[in-house]
Amino acid sequence: MSRIETILVTGGAGFVGATLVRRLVTSGYRVRVLDNLSTGDEAHLAGVDAELVKGDIRDVDALDDALADMDAVVHLAAAGSVIGSIADPVGNFETNVLGTFRVLDAARRAGVERTVQASTGGALIGDATPPVNEQSLPKPLSPYGASKLAGEGYAHAFAKTYGLRTVAVRFGNVYGPWCARKRGVLNVYFESLHDGVPLIIYGDGTASRDYVHASDISQALQLALEKDVPGGTVVHAASGVETPVALLADLCRQAAGLPDHPIEYRPARPGEVGRNFASYDLAHELLGFSPTVRREDGIPELWQWFKDQVFRD
């Protein structure tokens, strides 16, 4: 396997991408970013020594051009919302399934040996007794989860058929800086705290997720690039800690210094997983991955980032 020097990051102007690209550049790689800027922002990469190309992963010509002279690909570009996938399953399919297929096929044509792609844990596996792991049977509850399962299937097939060294990294619920365009629960809660409106909890507050910091996800992605593991490998990059949404709301209220801020309960929404957190044992065994950011530290740090970057008025 030749040494990796140049890396294409699709979706590299998004919030995970902004953290990953900084990490890769600091590590000495030459990085090119392909992003259609639908949810990413070129400002996320301001001052970073990386090439930004505006283009869409569904555009074959744009992919071929972006992959010229690249040694590896990290594929992050995606339609990432469970709720959005329920509202627009066709758009989710085109971005996540067709887009991932085209990234893999372009890598095959370009002779790129290593690909790493973003997948998901809870949305792909569905309702299962946590902690979930790589042996948990996939039963997605949403088009988003199904799209990520399809992407993993294509990665495995391309590894076995064409010899690509593919790795799919299943993310927990990622949080961290440069997330202002994301519509995750932390964004919604921070905006509600800032605007003085109640925090909304769907269901009874016991629904849980595995919240993992973008810096830990970036660590896992870089390790997946660099380590010699078989093509078709799938690993969970997670915190291994279960956080019920009621506790998450409390952590957000505490971070904002508003421990008595009101909470409003509403009926649970269809397509969303109940309890979920993941074991990262295999990622630790194969890649040497271990999360480093505790939610008790990361959530207050993110609140400060929102105050500095989003709530400046």
φ and ψ of 120, to 5 deg: -140, 155
> Rounded to two decimals, what is the model's pTM?
0.95
Q: Could you tell me whether strands 6-10 and 30-35 are parallel, antiparallel, or unpaired per DSSP bridges?
A: parallel
Sorted by where each starts, the structural domains of the chain and their CATH numbers stand as 6-176+210-238 (3.40.50.720)
Q: What is the pLDDT of residues 231-251, one digit of tens each?
A: 999 999 999 999 999 999 999
Q: Is 175 one of the annotated active-site residues of the chain?
A: no
Stated length of the chain = 313
φ and ψ of 200, to 5 deg: -100, 130
Mark the ranges of the chain whose per-residue pLDDT is less than 50: 1
pLDDT at 1: 45
pLDDT at 297: 98
Of 29, 144, 154, 280, which residue is the catalytic one? 144
CA distance 84 to 91: 9
pLDDT at 42: 95
